[in-house]
Structure 1
Amino acid sequence: MRSIILAGGVGTRLWPLSREYYPKQFIQLDGLTLFQKTYERAVRLSGPDGIFVVTNDIHRYLVRNQADELGYTLDDAHLLAEPEGKNTLPAIGWAMQRIRNTDRHATAVVFPSDHVLGDDALDQIRAAEPLSKKYLVTFGVKPTSPHTGYGYIRPGRTLSVGNLVEEFREKPDEKTAQEYVRKGYLWNSGIFLLSTDCFFAELKKYQPGLYAALSGAQDPDYRELEAISIDYGLLEHSKKVAVVPLEAEWNDLGTFKALYDTEPHDAEGNVGNAEYLSARNNYVHAPGKHVGLIGVSDLIIVDTTDALLVCNNRETEQVKHLVNRYKAGNDPVTKFHRQVHRPWGSYTVLEDGTVYKIKRVTVKPGEKLSLQLHHHRSEHWVVVRGTAEVELNGETRFLRKGESTFVRSGTKHRLKNPGLIPLEVIEVQLGDYLEEDDIVRFDDEYGRK
């Protein structure tokens, strides 16, 4: 059995923790990230060589770095970086094509990368493998409440394992959700078990254009594919869809309400490190700060270095609409944290003025930035940890802790860490324009333009 991990979402409902360039599946919540937990789950099912990851192009180095942190090396052929998001059916189809090109009759389980899933689920997935030879298998979760944020599945005729699917229902209002729960509908978990034979036979029948694009040995022209979910594009049309009840811990952690529900509460129902006086059922995430709540209830309070969210616990689905407002104004707060991850390491914006910007740049051992220049800014570098190898207009020198150099605008330059420990540099930028698009790259190990 192979595993496909879908790691392309941006998690707008968990803003400001989740940003476009560092979304929720890659955020460390309790030791490991959700992506890393999913990866380890996939290893137990498929072994380290049977995992395929589909992600956005901007996240491929996050995927590789987080797999490396677990001690695994993800094969280049198993890391599928979408040039643009096309929803779940093209993503799954592309991975299934890669799998079929090496094994014509394989089976693959599809995991979203941002779900909590109990270990009991793995045995249930294995037990459903024979069913996948004839059916497209989805896994349903017995509802614990009339949740309006999930899709629902209506089970039909009983099969050897699970049931035939009678219908899929979209996210309902609360009254409709209560009716679904009463009638025994299941939450749609977004986890699937697919054989290449059944998947491509049904794809040919209901999505012939996508089937044709995925039929060759070469990767599809991804930008030409239609953006469509596996639910809309395939499962809601096919007569060969089965649902298996998943009797295990499951949560998609799509909202702060979901995070609140899964974390330990105090006697008054509060979650998070704060002082609570006559306060009940609140969620607080404000690392590094003293927080006090008095006389308030049902609040979500999330504080980061550059953004603060306060909302009612019952309105967490609306956070995505708030994010859309920021996006409409081209505000970078939806894209980046103060700390921005790059393939060579990361940088953190310490102070941002109108004609200057101060960053802490961290370069991983053995890594180097692109050979580049800036037209509108100069930079002053001070090494605070490790050893820096600096190239300026073709000349190379080494800087140690406490030493510095000046990079004039228009100068070709490159920073490298030749050492065995992380290199940390304080970078002071000066100029009338300090944005990241003022970079002209001449040579880059990571294929960036």
Structure 2
Amino acid sequence: MTSIPVQPVIMAGGSGTRLWPLSRAQYPKQFLVLQGNRSLFQQAASRLAGLNAEDIAVSAPCVVGNEEHRFLVLDQLRELENVPEATVVLEPMGRNTAPAMTLAALQAAAGGADPVLVVTPADQTVTDEAAFTRAVQEAVRVAARGSFVILGVTPDRAETGFGYIRAADGKPGIDALGVAQFVEKPDLATAQRYLADGGYYWNSGMFVVRASLWLKALEQFRPDIAAATRAAWNKRSVDASFVRPGRAEFAAIPSESVDYAVMEKCPDSSAYDIRMVPLSAGWSDLGAWDAVWQVSDKDPAGNACAGDTFVRDSRDTLVHSTSRLVGVVGLHDVVVVETPDAVLVADRSRSQEVKHIVAHLDGSGRSEHSLHRQVHRPWGWYDSIDSGARFQVKRIMVKPGASLSLQKHHHRAEHWIVVSGTAEVTNGDQVILLTENQSTYIPLGQVHRLANPGKVPLEIIEVQSGSYLGEDDIVRFEDTYGRAKN
């Protein structure tokens, strides 16, 4: 039996603003661990790796993501034992899902190959992975015969936050259902009618199609996107870990979704057979805190809690703590989310409106829309513990074998105290090793570097002092991660 070649594609470029303050632009929701010990992105990669069958051969995944999240992608993939090394295609800026899927199709089609693409967003969850696997495997077999296939989620409530698919008459069979129409997000009355009708499904945003068929359809329906994306692809550069389309060419690509660019046009075209496989697997796109509450384990009163929390006389409430005790009393249908630098309290039914807070923060020039107090870097992370006039205190973790850039600062000096691990410190012309409870001083203007030569994480406390303490006061001379300016 000849196996169907499958190319998993994970769309990982979203920002997830509706899950603020846990989700930030620099650490969006797909990389969050909301349940268990794996992030949503890791869950997506593992699910796709499990699609192998006697007639289905799954390749290493292709991840299409944001340039700024590239090391998050690599770090989280390395933690997965069942996922082979991925191809990571980096978008220099967001251009929605149609260009992203096209980049993946061009990568998959290299050398004349024509695998079935299984395309999924990175920020969804399912509770029944076996049902997910069966549905996607059926979709692969249908797509291999030349159809567009979309996964349609069997609705269990009148939901106004999703687009819908109207299935053609008939029942699911070996060839799945036909698709009569894609419909926009409805109002509540329309959503209730869809639920009662039984012929409508939520649009999951998961697509299964031959790479060549996607490229053909895009060239027919949106030749401007097809041509501009090919131009960016032809200008790509490749290094050990990443594929980077041409930046200037990519900026010229029109921004459009897969649905608007191609899928919604297919039911009216006799040139394409479009099918839908129903998915009943406890699916959620976790588009807002209300959706997180929907899929979370709850106590008898309907409360979902995470972290150090105490809940009394409350019902149908979500309480999420990350850094301290959070106590609530007498709340009904409320969301409370705590992080070290921000707290959200919202009516659960209005949790979609969190995006307005993020927009306000962005417009006000505040950093809380983009960064957590703990900021992840390719070498590890730093946590801004305290700050005041002319000083700042950070806790810094450096991964084994990693190093910061060789750098200097014009406006600040630094004191480093090793908490655990071993630090290799370049301080001007000296290179010294420091261990637990030892310290050093980096004068203003001194060229310096911090590295971890050991096999366990290095943690230090850094005390900065000076007239200006911003992150842009860094002159880099050498950098492992391609950030040196000089």
TM-score by length of 2: 0.88
Partner of 2:252: 224
The corresponding residue for 1:38 is: 44
Which residue in the other structure is 1:121 paired with? 132
Q: Partners of 2:428 and 2:466 in 1: how far apart?
A: 20
In structure 2, C-alpha distance between the alignment counterparts of 1:389 and 1:73, rounded to whole Å? 33
Q: 2:200 aligns with which of 185, 192, 201?
A: 185
Q: Is 1:61 aligned with 2:79?
A: no
Residues 343 and 446 in structure 1, CA contact (< 8 A), matched pair in contact too: yes
Flag as ranges the 4+ runs of structure 1 deviating above 6 A: none
State the match for 2:291 in structure 1. Answer: 258
Q: Which amino acid aligns with 2:342?
A: A
1:61-80 to 2 correspondences below 5 Å: 61-71=71-81, 75=85, 78-80=87-89
CA contact (8 A) 1:64 1:73 kept: no
Identity of aligned residues (%): 40
In the other structure, the counterpart of 2:3 is: none
Return the offset for 1:157.
5.0
Change over 3 Å in CA distance of 1:147–1:354 after alignment to 2: farther
Q: Which residue does the alignment assign to 2:147?
A: 135
Tell me, yes or no, if structure 1 residue 269 matches structure 2 residue 302.
Answer: yes
Counterpart secondary structure, 1:337: coil
Cα 1:73/1:410, change in 2 over 3 Å: farther
2:187 maps to which residue?
Answer: 173
The residue correspondences of 1:235-250 to structure 2 (distance < 5 A) are 235-238=263-266, 239=269, 240=272, 241-250=274-283
Deviation at 1:8, TM superposition (A): 1.0
AA partner of residue 96 (structure 2): N
Distance 1:229 1:436, change over 3 A: same
In the TM superposition, what is the alpha-carbon distance from 1:339 to its structure 2 partner? Answer: 1.0
Please give the per-residue CA displacement for 1:296-337, whole angstroms capped at 9, x wherever unaligned: 211111111110000011101111111111111011001111
CA distance in 2, matches of 1:361, 1:440: 19
Q: What residue number does 1:161 align with?
A: 175
8 Å CA contact 1:3, 1:45 repeated in 2 = no
The Cα offsets for residues 12-54 of structure 1, whole Å up to 9 and x where unpaired, read as: 1110111111111111222111111111112112678521001
1:394, distance to aligned residue in structure 2 (A) = 4.0
Report the number of matched residues: 448
Shift of 1:346: 0.7
Q: Distance in 1 between matches of 2:280 and 2:478?
A: 52
What's the C-alpha RMSD, in Å, of the aligned pairs? 1.9
Residue 135 to residue 354, structure 1, CA distance change in 2 (3 Å): farther
* 1:364-375 equivalences in 2 (<5 Å): 364-375=399-410
Please list, as runs of the form range in 1=range in 2, the aligned pairs for 1:22-421 lying within 5 A after superposition: 22-29=27-34, 30-45=36-51, 49-71=59-81, 75=85, 78-117=87-126, 118-119=128-129, 120-132=131-143, 133-158=145-170, 161-183=175-197, 184-215=199-230, 218=234, 219=236, 220=245, 221-238=249-266, 239=269, 240=272, 241-272=274-305, 274-421=309-456
Residue-by-residue CA offset, 1:207-262 (whole Å, 9 max, x unaligned): 11232345577345322211111111111122333222112221111111111111
| Cα deviation digits, residues 334-370 of structure 1 (max 9, x gap) | 1111111111111111112232110011000100111
> Matched residues in 2 for 1:413 and 1:102: separation?
46
Whole-angstrom distance in 2 between the partners of 1:73 and 1:432: 48
Deviation at 1:72, TM superposition (A): 6.5
Normalization by structure 1: what TM-score?
0.95
Cα separation, 2, equivalents of 1:377 and 1:366: 27
- Alpha-carbon separation, structure 2, partners of 1:58 and 1:430: 28
Instruction: Determine the structure 2 residue equivalent to 1:8.
Output: 13
- For 1:138, the aligned partner's letter is I
Q: 2:394 touches 2:463 (CA, 8 Å); kept in 1?
A: yes
Q: Deviations over 1:262-292 (max 9, x none)?
A: 1122121112164333322111112453333
* CA distances 1:157-181 after superposition (whole Å, capped 9, x unpaired): 5585222322212222212222222
Structure 2 residue ranges without an equivalent (≥5): 1-5, 237-244
Flag the 1:210–1:68 CA change in 2: closer, same or farther, 3 A.
Answer: same
- The 1:393–1:292 alpha-carbon spacing in structure 2 relative to 1, beyond 3 Å, is closer
Structure 2: distance between partners of 1:284 and 1:309 = 10
Q: 1:386 to 1:289 in 2, by over 3 A?
A: closer
CA distance in 2: counterparts of 1:95 and 1:394, whole angstroms: 47
Distance in 2 between residues matched to 1:215 and 1:225, nearest whole Å: 10
Asked whether the 8 Å contact 1:153–1:186 carries over to 2, the reply is yes
Distance 2:310 2:155 in 1: 33
AA aligned opposite 2:74: R
SS at match of 2:70: helix
**Aligned residue number for residue 21 of structure 1:** 26
Structure 1, unaligned runs of 5 or more: none
